[in-house]
Structure 1
Amino acid sequence: MWHKISQLKNHQGFRKYLANTSWLMAESILRIVILLFVSVYMARYLGPKRFGLLNYANSFVGLFIALATLGLDSIVVRALVTTPERQGEILGTAFGLKTIGAIFMWVIILVAVPMTHNDAQINTLIAIIAFAVIFQAFDVIDFNYQAAVKSKYVVYAKLVKLIISSIIKLSLIVSEAPLIWFAWVYCVDAIVLAAGLTIIYFHNDNKFSVWHWRWPLAKKLLSESWPLIGSLIISLMFMNIDKVMLKELAGISSVGIYTVAAQLSSAFYFIPTITSDSLFPAILKAKANPEVYRAKIKQLFRLFFIIAVSISIIITFISEWIIDLLYGPEYHQAASVLNIHIWTTVFVFLGYASTKWLLVEDKQQIQFFRACIALVTNIILNYFLIIKYGITGAAYATLISWIIGMYVFHFFNHSTFELFILKTEAILFFDIIKLCTRPLWPKG
């Protein structure tokens, strides 16, 4: 056994992917810690109202951002892996598409904001944050390094951006800068990251001169990505609609208070993302043996369930202490929101694991339908629960939507009923199939 482990450790491919995952894990943890630290100081300085204004503007832009990304990310990475000889054409065409998409998104937002009930200050914040999206076209350089399994280079650029961004935000707080300057930081972030990716790209002896736009390739990429655009739009709306509706139904200060709780709750989401990605090859390999495959999937669900429930229980007991210590009395109401919102972690974790199952079973299209169900549920519940319960109503709406989308939905869908069984077994810690097939009484 130790000999096999030693062989695995010395395997070039294993070491390459382990190093790549380690860089991503380190970057994720460091990013979350720094972002949380800076966010605490921003929230305390700005107060619930101004912090709510900034996060509402960001969420409003989030409703449209799929128009800029065009669902191209994974499609471009796959194209770079399968046809590396066409790297220049792929990067040039993808860059062009994302630039056009970002400009189109910005124009749509500029047309849409006058139709809202927002005042001039909010609309200005939205326009500034939306402008930053244009520079995300340089993310195609990131895709290039993803395809080459060299994520450490991108991590360098992202860490530099994170440090510069944090220093600027803290400087603005110390100098008591007006709110609009914090919106401009979104643009600075995007420009710094674009510059960092460009420098790294040149440092590795690459040139923009090899990038070329190819219309046939553009049509091919769009034809492959359009099914993903729908899912992306639904997912982004689901992630941002609660803050937008809170502003309309409960006031802008409620957005600031709710955001504080939501940020703390979502700080743990990197765990299932990186863990499921790391375990996915083993699950995929086990597909050849149905019994082993089912056991591994159930183990993954059970692992995520135990971790998520443990986190939720701990946070529930110390939520008031966390909020009062970090954010102060102005945000005390966020504790009651956090007590509810943290339990979405359970179904978010299970959702990440079920996404891998759907991928192995070639049922990715199900993700779109369950996302639609979750979004519609969320909008309806937000409307009624926010009016009746305020910000805690939004937290309940989010929790119930996750339960329906990531668990209940699979009970009513014939093609994913097996997924419902697997999740239930993981949650209840017994094997439903064995229980149902076991005789009611012993023989003899």
Structure 2
Amino acid sequence: MSSGDSERTLAMVRTMLDRAHLATTGQIPDAVQEAARTLGWTAVLYLVDHEQRLLLPSPVTGLPPRRPLAVDTTLAGRCFRTMEPTPSPAGVAGVWLPVVDGADRLGVLEVTVPEGPDLDDELFLDRCRMLSHLCGHLVAAKSPYGDGLDHLRRLRSRTVASELLHQALPPLSFACEGLVISCLLQPAYDVAADAFDYGVGDDTAHLMVLDATGHDLEGTILATLALAAYRNNRRNGQGLAESVPVIDRLIAEHGRGERFATGVLAELDLSTGRLRYLNAGHPAPLLMREGRVVKELDEGHRVLFGLGQGEVTLAEEWLQPGDRIVLYTDGVVEARDDGGEFLGQERLEELLQKAAAAGLPAPETLRRIVHDVLARQGGVLQDDATLLIAEWASTREHTFSAVGGVSQHDLSPHDQTGGENGHSLRR
């Protein structure tokens, strides 16, 4: 890289950081565009909606408005699904870049390059990587301070209960050395009493999925209290066994003997693969190995939270590299079609195995399964549906990069043959 190239790259980074320092959340798209302009590029940020069906363009000062793009049938959507850079349609000198914060998929960046993108040019790819990385980090860092970008991602109003719950949840995906965690909870706008949580520290991953009784604000409050108690214990240095009686006591007190919660709590030792878990009246987690569901983790049972502490007996399972643990709530398997037939555990396992055979990463696996569940009930869930996947020692964490190689996998017919929304990626 020449000194001139280095100076232009540094100018792009500096512009982005300086402009974003005092920017409101809604001004981040303008900051991204100003940074891109230092290289002669144009950049427009698209964020995925809360149901992960559409990529919604953010307005940028001085640029014409864009239209929303479907995740499942466009080149922009392919970029989001695969987290790989994707050339723009024929006749457009540009490229789509994934926007992620760590492993959390936020959207895509449409970058127009007058001289045309060269995806074999390391300098070009480095600049794309920096721009999209900074964009993802700034969106995540700034979002808690304002509503501009969240307002863009909403296609309709949320209930108060759903607002409360979503503010308490961690990001949907996380990755570190030896671990990928991905979660998804639906319905996005009126969820009530499901919750999930995770935390990683001291070489241990802490996992929880919870389902409180009731589909109202009271159920949300109960689930949020349990989540807060779990985090508080964890952050105070307490282990899994110590967290259970605290959660049980809180739910018993605030549920007043009328409301309870089921749940699975687990601890995974990242250095050895030892999984310890406890199941309080909840559907048994599934263990996937080499792309297949090989068993239910059906030990470590106790009564529901809120029915009395009971004995805390932890079950244990030793994972192999590449194993996936799948936690879910009953709203997934009890989704009914028009004929009243449940989705069922067998169908869930089929969906998980189909996604594994296609090589899909955990976030995309969950997106497709949840959409299948929603479609089964005509887009309206009768119960909350939550899924959490934890993948150990698969090396897949290294694929969650804002710019990787361009591949041909996972192309929809529209992506592959062109038409209104795309063109062939084959050169």
TM bucket, shorter chain: under 0.3
Question: Which has the larger share of helix?
Answer: 1
Give the number of the structure with larger relative contact order, counting CA–CA contacts within 8 Å between residues 6 or more apart: 1
TM-score normalised by length of structure 1? 0.24
TM-score normalised by length of structure 2? 0.25
